[in-house]
């Protein structure tokens, strides 16, 4: 501690002397050494010394010693009390210009110091965004994409700032989407994947960024990750699978995004994913893929393209699954596709959809929800003359009559409605069960 006091005293007297750089570096190294030996006593001496103004001068005016000064600050800022002293000395604004450096060591220590000082401080974080730190962060992520330590510090910073709308707006004017997709693809450990996913999930709340992520191919990387982790029972892998699945759903909110994603071929990637996971028991992946499929089928322009690309047939093939939630959502997607699409009649006839629905209705193991969705889809199909003939020829009427005495009130209600549509009658609403 006596040596530390001497170093602090020297820096206080000669810290801004550009001709004493060797001694300044020795004193800064002395502070780092003292911090490793006795943090609490060192912090106490540092607080009393007024060294922070000297550090600010070194950062601003001594290029050779600035890197070491930034390293000292990054170590000091690990302590909660010392963070306050750094803030009072206005050191954040002094550190920010250093993010424009081309020295990787400077970027690393300055980035760590800023991150630690501003951690969990919303006012300071918002100030960072206002003074343009986003541009610096994206530049670092772009220029030093292969530097693991720098990328880690950069992603943590983005993670802390991405919740701000002002940050999202600033990020939407950069090429951050491309860089994040690149980092997602090259991430090799769970910690890195989790950080990238956290940033992506925040950015997916912004429509412009969401589309930029899709155009950068994020859905392809998500699909690769999910297929790679398919069937894994490790808790860490399950967390990643859930994060990837949640992100898929987030990307598909909004008609404009759905149209663009179909144009980019996302629908077949989702179906590939679902086909691989439909029997594996990865519920989060199934939920995400099925929800995404249904969202994609909402815009009218998507229905046409999806039908032309044979999506209906692929969905029907997946009805072989014996998992009620999967069957239920698949039928909901087919119903969404069938809504107002007569370019569909021949496709459904060729794929024997009517016969598949009849089997679901006849099977005692089919859940009430799936039976209801099957009948709802039948009502949509009955609007077509040819499909009506096929339904009548398949003797579905007798099955519907049997379902009118089913023990589930919703099934009974749907069976009565479907029979009325089949007979050409105007459906009469039945009272809901209490």
| pLDDT at res. 113 | 97
Digitized pLDDT (tens) for each residue of the chain, 434 residues in all = 578 888 888 887 776 777 788 899 999 999 999 999 888 889 888 888 888 989 999 999 888 999 999 999 999 999 998 999 999 999 999 999 999 999 999 999 999 999 999 999 999 999 999 999 999 999 999 999 999 999 999 999 999 999 999 999 999 999 999 999 999 999 989 999 999 999 999 999 998 999 899 889 898 898 888 778 877 778 888 888 888 878 887 887 666 677 877 887 777 777 877 777 776 656 777 777 788 888 888 888 888 888 778 888 888 878 777 778 788 888 888 888 877 666 766 667 766 788 888 998 999 888 999 999 999 989 888 887 778 888 888 789 999 999 999 999 999 999 999 999 988 876 665 555 44
| pLDDT at res. 390 | 83
| pLDDT at res. 130 | 96
190-203 and 148-161 helices, crossing angle to 10°: 40
* Spatial distance between the Cα atoms of 162 and 39, rounded to a whole number of angstroms: 32
* Spatial distance between the Cα atoms of 122 and 137, rounded to a whole number of angstroms: 18
H, E, C per residue of the chain: CHHHHHHHHHHHHHCCCHHHHHHHHHHHHHHHHHHHHCHHHHHHHHHHHCHHHHHHHHHHHCHHHHHHHHHHHHHHCCCHHHHHHHHHCCHHHHHHHHHHCCCHHHHHHHHHHHHHHHCCCHHHHHHHHHCCHHHHHHHHHHHCCCCHHHHHHHHHHHHHHCCCHHHHHHHCCCCHHHHHHHHHHHCCCHHHHHHHHHHHHHHCCCHHHHHHHHHCCHHHHHHHHHHHCCCCCCHHHHHHHHHHHHHHHHHCCCHHHHHHHHHCCHHHHHHHHHHHHCCCCCHHHHHHHHHHHHHHCCCHHHHHHHHHCCHHHHHHHHHHCCCHHHHHHHHHHHHHHHCCCCCCHHHHHHCCHHHHHHHHHHCCCCCHHHHHHHHHHHHHHCCCHHHHHHHHHCCHHHHHHHHCCCCCHHHHHHHHHHHHHHCCCCCCCCCCCC
| pLDDT at res. 226 | 79
pLDDT in tens, 271-318: 877 777 776 656 777 777 788 888 888 888 888 888 778 888 888 878
* Spatial distance between the Cα atoms of 261 and 267, rounded to a whole number of angstroms: 8
| pLDDT at res. 301 | 83
Q: What are phi and psi of 120, to 5 degrees?
A: 65, 25
Residue 382: how many other CB atoms lie within 10 Å = 17
């Amino acid at each position: 501690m006596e040596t530390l006091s001497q170093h602090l005293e020297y820096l206080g007297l000669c810290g801004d002397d550009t001709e004493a750089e060797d001694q300044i570096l020795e004193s800064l190294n002395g502070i780092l050494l003292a911090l490793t030996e006795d943090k609490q006593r060192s912090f106490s001496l540092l607080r009393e010394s007024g060294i922070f103004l000297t550090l600010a001068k070194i950062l601003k005016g001594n290029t050779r010693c600035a890197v070491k000064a930034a390293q000292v600050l990054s170590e000091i800022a690990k302590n909660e009390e010392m963070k306050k002293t750094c803030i009072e000395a206005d050191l954040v604004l002094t550190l920010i210009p250093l993010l424009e450096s081309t020295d990787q060591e400077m970027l690393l220590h300055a980035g760590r110091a800023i991150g630690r000082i501003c951690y969990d401080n919303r006012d300071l974080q918002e100030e960072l965004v206002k003074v343009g730190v986003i541009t610096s962060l994206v530049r670092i992520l772009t220029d030093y994409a292969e530097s693991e330590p720098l990328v880690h510090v950069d992603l943590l910073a983005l993670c802390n700032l991405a919740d701000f709308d002002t940050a999202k707006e600033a990020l939407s004017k950069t090429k951050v989407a491309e860089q994040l997709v690149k980092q997602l693809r090259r991430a090799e450990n769970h910690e890195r994947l989790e950080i990238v996913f956290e940033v992506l999930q925040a950015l997916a709340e912004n429509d412009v960024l969401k589309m930029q992520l899709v155009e950068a191919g994020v859905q392809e990387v998500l699909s690769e990750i999910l297929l790679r982790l398919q069937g894994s029972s490790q808790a860490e892998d399950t967390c990643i699978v859930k994060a990837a699945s949640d992100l898929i759903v987030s990307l598909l909110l909004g008609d404009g995004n759905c149209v663009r994603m179909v144009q980019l071929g996302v629908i077949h990637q989702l179906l590939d994913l679902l086909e691989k996971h439909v029997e594996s028991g990865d519920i989060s992946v199934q939920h995400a893929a099925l929800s995404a499929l249904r969202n994609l089928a909402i815009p009218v322009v998507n229905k046409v393209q999806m039908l032309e690309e044979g999506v209906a047939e692929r969905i029907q093939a997946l009805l072989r699954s014996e998992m009620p939630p999967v069957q239920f959502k698949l039928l909901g997607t087919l119903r969404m596709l069938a809504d107002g699409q007569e370019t569909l009649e021949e496709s459904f006839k060729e794929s024997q959809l009517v016969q598949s629905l009849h089997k679901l209705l006849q099977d005692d193991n089919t859940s009430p929800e799936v039976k209801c969705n099957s009948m709802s889809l039948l009502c949509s199909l009955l609007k077509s003359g040819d499909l009506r003939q096929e339904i009548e020829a398949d003797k579905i009427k007798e099955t519907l009559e049997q379902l009118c005495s089913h023990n589930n009130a919703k099934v009974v209600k749907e069976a009565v409605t479907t029979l009325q549509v089949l007979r050409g009658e105007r459906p009469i609403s039945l009272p809901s069960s209490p």
